[in-house]
Amino acid sequence: MKNASSSRRRRPTLVSLLVLALIAAAASVPVSAGEFMTLYSMKDRKIWNSVKGSLAGHTVHEYKVDLLAVADYSAKQKVVAKADQYDYALVIGPRASTILHDAKFGTVVVGVEAKASLSGNKVVYLVTAGMPDGSASKVSVADAAELGSTDLSKNTQITVTDAQNLGPILAGVIERLAK
Amino acid sequence: MRAKRLSAFLLCALILPATPAAELNWSGYGNAHYMKMKGGPELAEMDLSDSQIQLREFTLFLDVVISDTLTISSEIEMARNGSVVSLNYGYALWQPRDWLNVRIGKFLVPFLKYNEEKPSFRQSLMSSPFTATVLAPVINPNAQIAQGIGWSDYGVSIEGIWAGETGVLSGTLAVITGLANSDPAALDSNTVNFADGTPPGAIRPRDGLIQNEAGTRDNNDDKAIVARVLYQLYSIPLGFGLSRYQGSWDPNGMLDITMTGVNAELRYPRLEIKMEWGTADIEQSPGALPDGALPVTPNVSTTSYTMEAWFVEAGWKFKQYREDLWVKLIGRRDEADTNDQAAFTPFDRTRSTLGIEWQYEKNSRLRYEHQWTRIRDFGRAPSAVADSLTDSPSMHMASLIFWF
């Protein structure tokens, strides 16, 4: 009887510890400046290879979303949870954005040639073919220099009129977002 | 005492936010449904023909990212209006590389594909195929279900995934506690007692393999091994796999269950076809049940036996008015061969299911399904059962499914 009573007294503290641990875990967000998680499909890796060089100097973690095709139903949420630890989730190509279309990122998302179905703290689309819809404010630029006055404080679609400059414009967008 | 507890609170509040970085991510799903069976058996515990309305599942996924390589992952499921609360899975996931997943704890058993895709928002029908209910105990068909819903088990699994030029290859090896029964003589020692007074034991349930849910300890020293290979092509949305399970189920570790299964899925944006086939070889000794609770019954009158189950399912979004809004037609045919040579079993069945699903919002759906069952073994039913039961019960179900 005595033991039962003392265990009743201890229980609230243990529960409290658990609750506090969860709250603390939710509240602390680890971020290292300028780090990316790039999510792309092998099917669209040409797009990634074409812009990869422009991110030299940044820490980039590459993830092939094709791995999700054979994973269980919880794998996608785990990948998103991991991506949220980075400053930016870089979603490359239509296939990656299709696979991740119902994922809610808790970080800034930059979609390159991606479908307009991404969701994050902020989403910036870079397209050469006008794929995303009109939910974001739209601008057209030919090179990185033209980004100068572009407002990136909200969801934006940037149409790149000269596809050769996709990489440098991506680098420029990242630079602007980091400010 | 109160002051000490308060101090503990404050100390934790100060220290925990400063502990190594971690991030909690949560999401979940649920479904509520109305179900009515016609011609279902009247069991001693309940009449299965009585209709029911229930919050079938309400589930929370919690993932805590401890570091870049370590995640703690769990699924807490409240089933049947919250009367059954279980941890569907809870494990530490170590990912030293993106292509390598090591799970330690309680995880979904990687046998076939349905078990890892079973949530209602991932499926097109609420009812589960026979590969899940008869071979893999994904949904326990026992009317007196007390444990969780889903085939998960304790152990370690290692999964390697390789994304190549033509597709993705995945190989998984798991060591788990395994399927079990505390009864050393017969795996299918379950009983089904009918309300009409049919003698216990006259019906051989053979209602599916039994999940070892008694606790974290194994019932023997022989761990079960599960191996699975999956391959997904890029060129066409076709995936297929081969699964194998082997482990002893009895307390003495002498009698094995060996299962083999294949699965295939073809998934276009508006059309999907999927199938599973599995067979289970069960070693069993003949004889009376050792606890003396039941008389010598047909349950244990035969020795080793083989069960087989399969399903084929097709879904077609015949109306899609936005990327996330559509109406889908679904059809499924499934069959369980319990291979009973001695007695009547109501679980040796074929089923046809038709459904329609309307995703009317980005994250919720309405679904209706109608199911026709044929009990193939009905000719051997005891007369009392044959008089009160039809060989072709049917069921219909309307569901609301949501996820967040």
Question: Can you give the C-alpha Rg of chain B in angstroms?
Answer: 23
Q: Give me the residue spans of the domains in chain A.
A: 33-178
Residue B322 has a pLDDT of 86
Spatial separation of the C-alpha atoms in residues A114 and A124, rounded to whole Å: 10
**Between chains, do B161 and A71 touch, taking CB under 8 Å as contact?**
yes
Spatial separation of the C-alpha atoms in residues B251 and B200, rounded to whole Å: 25
What's the pLDDT tens digit per position in B76-90?
988 888 887 888 899
Angle CA A130–A135–A139, to nearest 5: 50
By C-alpha distance, which of B116, B112, B118 is closest to B29? B118
Residue A96 has a pLDDT of 94
Average pLDDT over residues B356-362: 96
Spatial separation of the C-alpha atoms in residues A144 and A160, rounded to whole Å: 10
- All residues of chain B having their beta carbon less than 8 Å from the beta carbon of residue A21 are 12, 16
By C-alpha distance, which of B255, B247, B344 is closest to B304? B255
pLDDT at B26 over 80: yes
By C-alpha distance, which of B67, B90, B20 is closest to A24? B20
Spatial separation of the C-alpha atoms in residues B300 and B284, rounded to whole Å: 8
pLDDT at B233 over 90: yes
By C-alpha distance, which of B190, B224, B213 is closest to B87? B213
Q: Compare B343 and B140 and report the one with higher pLDDT.
A: B343
Residue B212 has a pLDDT of 65
pLDDT at B383 over 50: yes
- All residues of chain A having their beta carbon less than 8 Å from the beta carbon of residue B63 are 74, 77-78, 81
pLDDT at A173 over 50: yes
Spatial separation of the C-alpha atoms in residues A42 and A95, rounded to whole Å: 9
Q: Compare B100 and A21 and report the one with higher pLDDT.
A: B100
What's the pLDDT tens digit per position in A127-155?
987 666 656 678 888 888 887 777 788 88
Average pLDDT over residues A96-107: 90
> Coil, helix or strand for A179?
coil
Spatial separation of the C-alpha atoms in residues B268 and B54, rounded to whole Å: 33
pLDDT at B298 over 70: no
**Between chains, do A102 and B24 touch, taking CB under 8 Å as contact?**
no
Q: Are A90 and A63 in contact (CB under 8 A)?
A: no
What's the pLDDT tens digit per position in B149-202?
678 899 999 999 999 989 999 999 999 999 887 777 777 766 666 766 666 556
**Between chains, do B323 and A80 touch, taking CB under 8 Å as contact?**
no
By C-alpha distance, which of B68, B183, B261 is closest to A61? B68
Q: Are A132 and A125 in contact (CB under 8 A)?
A: yes
> Coil, helix or strand for A102?
coil
Q: Are A96 and A121 in contact (CB under 8 A)?
A: no
Shortest distance between the Cα of A142 and any Cα of chain B, in A, equals 31
Q: What is the mean pLDDT of chain B?
A: 84
What's the pLDDT tens digit per position in B336-356?
998 877 677 888 899 999 999
Q: Using CB atoms, which residue from A43, A61, A62 is nearest to B234?
A: A43
- CATH fold of A33-178 reads Rossmann fold (3.40.50)
Q: Are A125 and A104 in contact (CB under 8 A)?
A: no
Residue A2 has a pLDDT of 33
Residue A102, chain B, CB below 8 Å: the answer is: yes
**Between chains, do A28 and B23 touch, taking CB under 8 Å as contact?**
yes
Q: What pLDDT band is residue A97 in, cutting at 50, 70 and 90? A: very high
Spatial separation of the C-alpha atoms in residues B1 and A175, rounded to whole Å: 55
**Between chains, do A21 and B9 touch, taking CB under 8 Å as contact?**
no
Residue B215 has a pLDDT of 66
Q: Compare A175 and B42 and report the one with higher pLDDT.
A: A175
Residue B190 has a pLDDT of 67
User: What residues contact B399, with CB distance under 8 A and at least 6 apart?
Assistant: B31, B32, B33, B34, B56, B120, B126, B366, B367, B368, B369
Residue A5, chain B, CB below 8 Å: the answer is: no
Residue B107 has a pLDDT of 94
Shortest distance between the Cα of A72 and any Cα of chain B, in A, equals 5
Residue A84, chain B, CB below 8 Å: the answer is: yes
| Tokens representing residue B372 in the block | 């026709």
pLDDT at B31 over 70: yes
Task: Report which secondary-structure segment, H or E, holds A169.
Answer: helix A166-178
User: What residues contact B220, with CB distance under 8 A and at least 6 apart?
Assistant: B180, B248, B250, B251, B252, B253
Residue B289 has a pLDDT of 45
- All residues of chain B having their beta carbon less than 8 Å from the beta carbon of residue A81 are 23, 25, 63, 65, 71
> Coil, helix or strand for B16?
helix
Helices A166-178, A45-52: axis angle to 10 degrees equals 70
Spatial separation of the C-alpha atoms in residues B178 and B111, rounded to whole Å: 12
* Least confident segment among B22-31, B272-281, B308-317: B22-31
Q: What is the mean pLDDT of chain A?
A: 79
**Between chains, do A16 and B98 touch, taking CB under 8 Å as contact?**
no
Residue A20 has a pLDDT of 52
* Least confident segment among A51-60, B8-17, B272-281: B8-17
What's the pLDDT tens digit per position in A10-56?
444 544 554 554 454 444 433 344 789 999 999 899 999 999 998 88
**Between chains, do A84 and B161 touch, taking CB under 8 Å as contact?**
no
> Coil, helix or strand for A160?
strand
From its phi and psi, is residue B249 left (phi > 0), alpha (psi between -120 and 50) or beta?
A: alpha
Residue A129, chain B, CB below 8 Å: the answer is: no
Spatial separation of the C-alpha atoms in residues A60 and A48, rounded to whole Å: 12
Instruction: Report yes or no on whether pTM surpasses 0.80.
Output: yes
Phi, psi of B130 (to 5 degrees): -65, -25
pLDDT at B331 over 90: yes
| Tokens representing residue A13 in the block | 């503290």
Domains and CATH numbers, chain B: 54-403 (2.40.160)
Nearest residue of A to residue B11 by CA position? Answer: A17
Q: Are B373 and B349 in contact (CB under 8 A)?
A: yes
Residue reference for tokens 């999927």: B274
**Between chains, do A25 and B362 touch, taking CB under 8 Å as contact?**
no
Q: Compare A31 and A169 and report the one with higher pLDDT.
A: A169
Exposed / middle / buried, residue A137 (Cβ in 10 Å: 0-12, 13-18, 19+): middle
Nearest residue of B to residue A65 by CA position? Answer: B163
What are the angstrom distances between the C-alpha of A116 and each of A60, A78, A169?
Answer: 23, 22, 19
Residue B83 has a pLDDT of 81
Spatial separation of the C-alpha atoms in residues B346 and B374, rounded to whole Å: 9
Average pLDDT over residues B53-66: 92
- All residues of chain A having their beta carbon less than 8 Å from the beta carbon of residue B165 are 42
ipTM greater than cut 0.85: no
Q: Compare A173 and B197 and report the one with higher pLDDT.
A: A173
By C-alpha distance, which of B139, B144, B142 is closest to B129? B139
